[in-house]
Chain A
Amino acid sequence: MSSSPGSVGIVTPQAFQFDEPLALQNGTSIAGYTLMVETYGSLNADKSNAVLICHALNASHHVAGVYADQPKNLGWWDNMVGPGKPVDTNLFFVIGVNNLGSCFGSTGPMHTNPATGKPYGADFPVVTVEDWVNAQARLADRLGIQQFAAVMGGSLGGMQALAWSILYPDRLRHCVVVASTPKLSAQNIAFNDVARQAILTDPDFHGGDFYAHGVVPRRGLRVARMIGHITYLSDDDMAEKFGRDLKGGDYQFGYGVDFEIESYLRYQGDKFSDYFDANTYLLITKALDYFDPARHTGGDLSKALAHTRARFLLASFTTDWRFSPERSREIVKALVSNKRTVSYAEIDAPHGHDAFLLDDSRYLNLIAAYYRRIDAELQAELLGAAA
């Protein structure tokens, strides 16, 4: 059954249909929608061992394992989730859900707008982190999960976990936020807008209705991905991986590919433009830009987190300059000022923002230790309830 030791093996996504309209933060609502979901492990009798994994910009519900027909399509957090892995599927029922507006099967811009009979395109509502969390809460309702053992995510996924702790304080015991931030900086927004401009100004974008024209704004998507990718890596990491290595051994005195780093970024851009939807890229970067839970408390993050009840684990990586350790420390400080139960690890890893997806024993051992404590706590409570 399992494809390798410690793997959840072959997995099958499920589509959950929701007919009741979901009110959105922008004042509109989405009539009916589908969420693509994968689950790993089994839900215990009192439904207390569920862990929700929230995905970042370009990921999906495919968190772990592989598909029967795509044996190389490994889940994006397969090193984190599986039997005997940090989020141990022998102990926990783990859920991956593809967010609204994404392009991996959940309702998104490429699907038909029931109001017009045409693809939503750029008319797909600009959804927010909070909207996603509300949709995820409905999924939890559908699965009969009143309270998650943990909600966890990295980067944009960490924002969702944090939003869970604010919007549904009683519905999660633990909140695990990795390489994330309480809000984007001007620099973060600037990078996002350069990426959006690349897409919006691509002649093949057609105002978001490129589906009808049978084209894809590939050039825009490529540039968007290239610029995004630069922000995921550290300067040192890039220097070590590519340095000034030349693709052809010598300068070409032209505008083709001279350096290995150019080749790498172009390859990443090409690959991305093959599978990612341009409208999705636009709206997910907007969701990132808009996230700011302290916006309604006069910029006071401590006040924004005052009603949280979860216990928190935060982790950041020293070379992450996209969402630097300082951003995580802001969250920790706000939680500490509310006397919340919180631990924070600042991991000295060389890989920049991407480190949250990579193997680093300090990081993975810490998450593993934390989840073992969660399990012990659940077991103790079950024993207490039985006694």
Chain B
Amino acid sequence: MNFSELKVLRPDLAFIAHWIKPQAQVLDVGCGDGVMLDYLQSDKQCSGYGIEIADDKVLACATRGVNVIQQDMENGLGMFEDNAFDTVMCLSSLQMMKHVEPLLRDIARVGQEAIVSFPNFGYWPHRTALLRGKMPVSKSLPYEWYDTPNVRCATIYDFSDLANEVGLNVLECVALHEGKPVTWLPNLRGSLAVFRLRKK
């Protein structure tokens, strides 16, 4: 998979990919169908592993020839040694976690750098939904309150505090919308929060 293919398929991942150095050892926590790892190993000669729990996605990873380890992210990263990875990614998964803080501490333990993304609850349509008295349902949060897998709702500001708390410095914080960075009023206009973090 090359960059233009990734950009068509997942513009958000294409934006994030430039933060990862060629030949890096990477871990993708909640790797889904393995598209990011597929790109990183074929275009950037990276190596590493994905973690995924869903059977169909594990199969998709195997079909792509991406290393995948089937496990529940809630069980942490005990499989991996300290500082085993140059970059640990946790992309659009954190909001589904019950144990967010222990997972972030584990991410900081096994990686030098981390890239974390999650749907920004502060995105303006979410705010207007709440102003109207309803829980937000949008392209980035496409579920009803009673069936959503997203059990954690955070804004860009909220996450910075927790990152510091678990021993991660924020190197960059970007709000994306449709895969493009939003510079003016990011916490209002960005639907996806993306953090580039480094271990303190």
Interfacial residues, chain A to chain B (CB-CB below 8 A):
313, 329, 332-333, 336-337, 339, 341-348, 362, 365-366, 369-370, 372-373, 376
**Residue in A333, A336, A337, A369 whose CB lies within 8 Å of B62:** A369
Q: Name 17 A/B residue pairs within 8 A (Cβ), A-sorted.
A: A329-B71, A329-B79, A332-B69, A333-B79, A339-B25, A341-B47, A342-B69, A343-B61, A344-B70, A344-B71, A345-B55, A346-B71, A348-B55, A365-B59, A369-B59, A373-B62, A376-B65
Given the complex of chains A and B, what is the CA–CA distance between A313 and B67 in angstroms?
9
Given the complex of chains A and B, what is the CA–CA distance between A313 and B69 in angstroms?
10
Give the nearest-CB partner of A348 in chain B: B55
Given the complex of chains A and B, what is the CA–CA distance between A332 and B77 in angstroms?
13
Min CB distance B74 to A, Å, is 14
Given the complex of chains A and B, what is the CA–CA distance between A373 and B59 in angstroms?
12
Q: Kindly list 16 other residue pairs between chains A and B, CB separation below 8 angstroms, not including A337-B81, A339-B25, A343-B68.
A: A313-B62, A329-B71, A336-B80, A337-B84, A342-B49, A342-B67, A342-B69, A343-B62, A343-B69, A345-B55, A345-B70, A362-B55, A362-B59, A366-B59, A370-B62, A373-B62
Q: Would you call B63 an interface residue if the criterion is a C-beta within 8 Å of the partner chain's C-beta atoms?
A: yes
| Residues of B contacting A342 in the complex (Cβ-Cβ under 8 angstroms) | 49, 67, 69
| Residues of A contacting B197 in the complex (Cβ-Cβ under 8 angstroms) | none
Min CB distance A327 to B, Å, is 14
- B residues 12-71 in Cβ contact with A at 8 Å: 25, 47, 49, 55, 58-59, 61-63, 65-71
| Residues of B contacting A347 in the complex (Cβ-Cβ under 8 angstroms) | 55
Min CB distance B69 to A, Å, is 5
**Residue in B55, B63, B71 whose CB lies within 8 Å of A373:** B63
Contact A332 B79 (CB under 8 A): yes
Over the window 81-114 of chain B, the binary record of Cβ atoms lying under 8 Å from chain A Cβ atoms (1 yes, 0 no) is: 1001000000000000000000000000000000
Give the nearest-CB partner of A329 in chain B: B79
Given the complex of chains A and B, what is the CA–CA distance between A152 and B45 in angstroms?
28
Min CB distance A349 to B, Å, is 11
Given the complex of chains A and B, what is the CA–CA distance between A10 and B116 in angstroms?
56
| Residues of B contacting A329 in the complex (Cβ-Cβ under 8 angstroms) | 71, 79
Contact B65 A373 (CB under 8 A): yes
Give the nearest-CB partner of B81 in chain A: A337
Contact B63 A369 (CB under 8 A): yes
Interfacial residues, chain B to chain A (CB-CB below 8 A):
25, 47, 49, 55, 58-59, 61-63, 65-71, 79-81, 84
Min CB distance A94 to B, Å, is 20
Contact A346 B70 (CB under 8 A): yes
Number of A-B contacts defined by CB within 8 Å: 54
Min CB distance A305 to B, Å, is 14
| Residues of B contacting A369 in the complex (Cβ-Cβ under 8 angstroms) | 59, 62-63
| Residues of A contacting B59 in the complex (Cβ-Cβ under 8 angstroms) | 362, 365-366, 369
Contact A366 B25 (CB under 8 A): no
| Residues of B contacting A344 in the complex (Cβ-Cβ under 8 angstroms) | 68-71
| Residues of A contacting B67 in the complex (Cβ-Cβ under 8 angstroms) | 341-343
Given the complex of chains A and B, what is the CA–CA distance between A373 and B62 in angstroms?
8
Give the nearest-CB partner of A347 in chain B: B55
Min CB distance A384 to B, Å, is 16
Give the nearest-CB partner of A311 in chain B: B67
Given the complex of chains A and B, what is the CA–CA distance between A366 and B68 in angstroms?
12
Min CB distance A45 to B, Å, is 25
Give the nearest-CB partner of B25 in chain A: A339
Most buried by A among B25, B62, B80, B81: B62
Min CB distance B1 to A, Å, is 14
Give the nearest-CB partner of B58 in chain A: A345
| Residues of A contacting B80 in the complex (Cβ-Cβ under 8 angstroms) | 336
**Residue in B63, B68, B79 whose CB lies within 8 Å of A336:** B79
Given the complex of chains A and B, what is the CA–CA distance between A337 and B25 in angstroms?
12
| Residues of A contacting B55 in the complex (Cβ-Cβ under 8 angstroms) | 345, 347-348, 362
- Give 5 nearest A-B pairs by CB, closest first: A369-B62, A369-B63, A344-B69, A346-B70, A362-B55
Give the nearest-CB partner of A316 in chain B: B70
Give the nearest-CB partner of A314 in chain B: B69
Given the complex of chains A and B, what is the CA–CA distance between A346 and B80 in angstroms?
17
| Residues of B contacting A362 in the complex (Cβ-Cβ under 8 angstroms) | 55, 59
| Residues of B contacting A337 in the complex (Cβ-Cβ under 8 angstroms) | 81, 84
| Residues of B contacting A339 in the complex (Cβ-Cβ under 8 angstroms) | 25, 47
| Residues of A contacting B61 in the complex (Cβ-Cβ under 8 angstroms) | 343
| Residues of B contacting A376 in the complex (Cβ-Cβ under 8 angstroms) | 65
Given the complex of chains A and B, what is the CA–CA distance between A313 and B66 in angstroms?
11
| Residues of A contacting B69 in the complex (Cβ-Cβ under 8 angstroms) | 332, 336, 342-344
Given the complex of chains A and B, what is the CA–CA distance between A53 and B13 in angstroms?
40
Give the nearest-CB partner of A302 in chain B: B81
Contact A366 B62 (CB under 8 A): yes
